[in-house]
């Protein structure tokens, strides 16, 4: 069994990843990153998920880099969050430059300090169309870099990279993941909006296996 730092956003993919690794018997700590995103609903969910399974959760405060991340809709309140499917051109406004590299670099640093074996993140095949740092080619290159960045061995785990979100939802159901604690919506309202790309993809994932999603959506 390995000791692993999980990059936990608070969304359903990373939540399933957390439960997946614990189910395999690994020792886990979780890390979330505050990069000045528009809301902290995901960070609150990450804390709740970590508390539910009794693992240590840390939040890296990187809010000072927010002005460097440009005019995207997830980290700038000057850009409206687009509604629609991920494949639509407008959804590229949700790309935060190099976000996964930033989060994974911090996670690797903490993992090395802990003398842990690996860092894990929940990238999946559905992300690839819009987020270049979710592609397997990116993960392979970063895995190589991670193995060279310190004398202590380290690797990057991405068990869902060839799975779609529906398969992840199914795996979560098998593991009894408390999906009601997760947050997916790009908007930070009282409930999920149901219209943004993240909400639509989540809905499709649960529908793929005729599963009921316990979160509330504003739009039907």
Q: What residue spans define the domains of the chain? A: 3-208
Residue with tokens 């960045």: 149
Q: Which two tokens stand for residue 32?
A: 């979330």
pTM score, whole prediction? 0.91
pLDDT for res 99: 79
Model pLDDT for residues 90-105, shown as the tens digit of each residue: 566 566 667 788 899 9
What are the two backbone dihedrals, phi and then psi, of residue 170, each rounded to the nearest 5 degrees? Answer: -65, -45
Contact present, 130 and 99 (Cβ < 8 Å): no
Residue 220's CB is within 10 A of a number of other CB atoms, namely 4
Contact present, 73 and 79 (Cβ < 8 Å): yes
Pick out the chain residues at pLDDT < 70: 70-97, 126-130, 219-220
Q: Which two tokens stand for residue 25?
A: 């018997």
pLDDT for res 87: 60
Model pLDDT for residues 113-126, shown as the tens digit of each residue: 999 999 999 988 76
Using alpha carbons only, give the angle 31, 36, 219 rounded to the nearest 5 degrees: 90
CA 205 to chain centre: 15
pLDDT for res 134: 75
Q: Which two tokens stand for residue 215?
A: 């979160």
pLDDT for res 72: 58
Fold of 3-208: Rossmann fold (3.40.50)
Contact present, 142 and 156 (Cβ < 8 Å): yes
């Amino acid at each position: 069994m390995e000791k692993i730092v999980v990059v936990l956003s608070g969304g359903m993919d990373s939540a399933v990843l957390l439960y997946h690794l614990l189910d395999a018997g690994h020792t886990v700590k979780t890390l979330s990153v505050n990069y000045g995103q528009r809301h902290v609903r995901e960070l609150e969910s990450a804390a709740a998920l970590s508390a539910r399974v009794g693992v240590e959760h840390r939040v890296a405060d990187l809010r000072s880099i927010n002005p460097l991340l440009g005019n995207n809709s997830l980290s700038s309140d000057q850009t409206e969050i687009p509604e629609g499917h991920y494949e639509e051109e407008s959804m590229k406004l949700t790309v935060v430059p190099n976000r996964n590299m930033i989060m994974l670099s911090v996670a690797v640093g903490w993992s090395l300090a802990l003398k842990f074996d690996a860092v894990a993140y929940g990238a999946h095949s559905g992300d690839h169309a819009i987020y270049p740092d979710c592609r397997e080619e990116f993960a392979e290159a970063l895995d190589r870099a991670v193995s060279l960045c310190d004398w202590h061995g380290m690797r990057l785990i991405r068990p869902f990279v060839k799975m779609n979100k529906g398969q992840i939802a199914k795996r979560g159901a098998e593991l009894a993941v408390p999906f009601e604690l997760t947050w997916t919506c790009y908007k930070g309202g009282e409930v999920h909006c149901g219209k943004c790309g993240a909400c639509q993809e989540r809905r499709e994932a649960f529908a793929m296996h005729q599963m009921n999603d316990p979160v509330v959506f504003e739009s039907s």
